[in-house]
Structures are given as C-alpha cells and as structure tokens.
C-alpha cells in the first residue's frame, strides 16, 4: 500500500516552517530546484528540554556523514529520526543554523538578513514553544561541508540536484522546525524554495 501524504508545504526561499510529526510518520525534505540547504531541528513532544543532538548522533553512528540507515538521536540519547531514504547523500550535522551573529562574524554583515536561527525560532513559536538559549547544531540537509586531513572545514556548494530528497521517519512524537536556508555560501549564492511532505506511517 502506498504511503498516504497528509501534508505538503512549499517553503519560500529564506523561510522556515514548524510542524508536529507523529511517531511513525515520515518527513520528506525535497530540494526541488537543487543546491538548496534545509536546516532541521526537533524537540521531543513529551519533553521540550530534549532535542536533536549532533554529538549523540555522531557518537552512536560512528560517522559525521549521515545517510540512509543512520539514526539521529536526542540529547537524552533517544532515537528521534531514522534516515530511511536519501537520494542526495551529502548532508551536514556539524554546523549551527545561520544567525544574525553568523552574518556579522563570517560575512561582516550587520544589516538585516534572514537567518535559519530566526526562522526556526519563529517556527517553534508558531507551535507555542520558545527554545531556550541559542539553538544547538541542526541537521542541515543537503549542506556540503568539505573537510581536510588537518580538520579544517569549508562550506562548498551542495551536491544535491533538483528533486533530491531525504526521508526522516519520526521515532517519537516531535515538534519540528525546518527551513529553506538563508546563508549565501551554503546555497552557492542563490536562494531557492524547499518542499516538505509528511507521510503517514
């Protein structure tokens, strides 16, 4: 039986969106035009102090390159998402979302600039939740971080092509924020939409 699509949403360039996803549902993130990053943060519906954790996920999967077959864990070491399909193959789980400070520190830009941090905060506020402190490291779908042997990291253009997607199955009830990323370098200096779809399990 084909999975049932219960929601489809197009995120305009440099925007964010918040949604609740039930255990067993699958969040599909589609890079509809190619070379567009999408930052993802999630909080446990039963414990809003528990959120997606890069460090726990790296530790339990023995990798910094996440793809189909990997499990993304929470800070309290609970499985949050299973990566069940991935046509892109390159994502990042090292960087925090771009923020006004990112644009000031990295780009020297102190003017108003959309950011994933602010868009994610607005997404969570839309669900009645205010994350404390700065957001932790997000799962950055399609973000292409190259790493040298010396540990130096560099943000390269995404390798994802139009239509590439990654499917994340929720392993618990979640509040999820997702963006069409706002940072120039991460998206090869062009901002595009992201489409998300949610399938019933």
Least distance from a copy of itself to the Cβ atom of residue 84, Å: 19
Nearer of residues 14 and 102 to a copy of itself, judged by Cβ = 102
Q: What is the largest CA-CA distance in the chain?
A: 52
Token pair 């669900």 is found at: 127
The values of phi and psi at residue 60, to 5°, are -85, -15
For position 153 contacting a copy of itself by CB under 8 A, the verdict is yes
In 3D, which of 165, 151, 175 has the Cα closest to residue 197?
Answer: 165
Both tokens assigned to 90: 């390159």
Asked if 180 and 14 touch (Cβ cutoff 8 Å), the reply is yes
Residue 26 forms beta bridges with which residues?
A: 169, 199
Site for a copy of itself in 81-110 (CB under 8 A): 94-96, 99, 101-102, 105-106
Element (H, E) at 172: none
152 makes contact with a copy of itself (CB under 8 A):
yes
Site track for a copy of itself across 21-60, x = CB under 8 A = --------------------------x-xxx-xxxx-xxx
Smallest distance from the beta carbon of 104 to a copy of itself, in angstroms?
A: 8
Candidates 3, 22, 32, 65; binder of a copy of itself (CB under 8 A) is 65
Site map for a copy of itself, 109-138, x if CB under 8 A?
-----------------------xxxxxxx
Residue 18 CB contacts under 8 Å (≥ 6 apart), including other chains: 122, 123, 124, 125, 126, 127, 175, 176, 177, 178
Q: How far is the CB of 62 from a copy of itself (least distance, A)?
A: 6
Q: Which residues bind a copy of itself (CB under 8 A)?
A: 47, 49-51, 53-56, 58-60, 62-65, 74-77, 94-96, 99, 101-102, 105-106, 132-138, 147, 150-154
């Amino acid at each position: 039986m084909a999975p049932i699509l219960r929601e489809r949403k197009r995120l305009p360039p440099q925007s964010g969106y918040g949604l609740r996803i039930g255990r067993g549902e699958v969040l599909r993130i589609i890079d509809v035009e190619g070379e567009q990053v999408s930052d993802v943060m999630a909080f446990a519906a039963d414990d809003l102090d528990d959120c997606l954790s890069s460090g726990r996920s790296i530790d339990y999967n023995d990798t910094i390159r996440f793809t189909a077959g990997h499990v993304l864990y929470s800070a309290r070491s609970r499985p949050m998402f299973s990566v069940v399909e991935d046509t892109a193959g390159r994502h990042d789980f090292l960087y925090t979302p771009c923020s006004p400070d990112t644009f000031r520190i990295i780009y020297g830009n102190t003017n108003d600039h959309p950011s994933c941090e602010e868009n994610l905060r607005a997404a969570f506020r839309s669900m009645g939740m205010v994350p404390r402190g700065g957001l932790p490291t997000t799962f950055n779908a399609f973000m292409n971080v190259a790493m040298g042997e010396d540990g130096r990291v560099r943000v390269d253009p995404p390798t994802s092509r139009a239509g590439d997607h990654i499917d994340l199955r929720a392993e618990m009830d979640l509040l999820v924020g997702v963006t069409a990323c706002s940072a120039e370098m991460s998206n090869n200096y062009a901002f595009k939409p992201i489409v998300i779809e949610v399938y019933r399990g």
